[in-house]
Copies of this chain bind each other. A is one copy, B any other.
């Protein structure tokens, strides 16, 4: 299915044009083969429960291959999604993805510390890469991933599904168009109860605690709601090291981001309480969501002139998962600019490293 030459031409055509105008063109030129093939790497609960069921609703993406270390999973999900044995891989066979022309995109849904290695090997195999957040566990790894994709002339996207979620997009638009006036405060709070025994609590797998896993939603939301990059931050950590869950990862780490325009973001990251909300307050009122970044059930509220209202956002044709899965192939096929690129993931990782440093050194960290 992959047709690199044709796609290269399309990317050239697409350069400098608005993406939407090109969708029809891509469809027309790509004809019935407009869907690019994904290999899913790592068959954990997020991949199998959230991502894989969405392909049936995709316009540009289809599931063509599976990678897992568990033969039973390959058998079960291979059968469920009609992925033939020739397209099921163990990690030992991972580099053989290179030889499968049906695979256009490799979607890395592994524990955080494996993101860099498996993304880089996918780029070197000539595949486009979608990688789950957090992009990796260090700035150095993120840079290596970007470089590998660049060297292979392939795209690299990070799984920031909220960039495609309609209520989040509407919130960003309301802020950008002045609904709240000049923004002064962003609060972004994310947390859940970490269960003992999960890989997320094992630093060699996770690279860190709640910040890497759920606090990154607070961080990323603060940035897309502010529409600018922070210039300074301070952070406070609290972890009960006698709790067996938190022997080598942090429980809670809250941070304040200071943006050049003057907006301050108070962000929460927790493994020991439930939070899923943000609010942008400005000189005229506020826009807020709760839940904000959940898989479904988002609610958007606004307040101006003393009245709080729930804003109904029309259900789009594509939910956030479908829109994310479709976006990378559409960008490949049509040349529309890639949202949630590797550079976006790198920006968050730089801030994550700075947040850890601020909490450790108990001082503000400049981000100039």
Contacts and interface: CB of A to CB of B under 8 A. Distances in A.
Contacts of A273: 184-185, 281-283
Contacts of A282: 273
A236 interface: yes
Contacts of A234: 234-236, 256, 362, 364
Q: How large is the interface on A (under 10, 10 to 19, 20 to 34, 35 or more residues)?
A: 20 to 34
A274 B183 CA distance: 11
Contacts of A182: 272
Contact of A270 (B184, B187, B268): B184
Interface string A128-142: 000000000000000
Interface stretch (A159-167, A258-266, A337-345): A258-266
A275 interface: yes
A236 B258 contact: yes
Nearest to A235: B234
A189 interface: yes
A264 B252 contact: yes
Interface string A222-263: 000000000010111010100000000000101010100011
B252 A184 contact: yes
B262 A254 contact: no
Interface string A265-308: 01010101111000001110100000000000000000000000
Given A232-B362, A238-B262, A240-B262, 15 more contacts: A185-B189, A185-B254, A185-B268, A185-B273, A187-B187, A187-B189, A187-B266, A234-B234, A236-B364, A238-B258, A252-B262, A254-B266, A256-B266, A266-B266, A273-B283
> Can you list the 3 inter-chain pairs with the closest CB atoms, starting with the nearest?
A362-B364, A184-B273, A363-B363
6 contacts: A182-B272, A185-B254, A185-B273, A234-B364, A238-B258, A362-B364
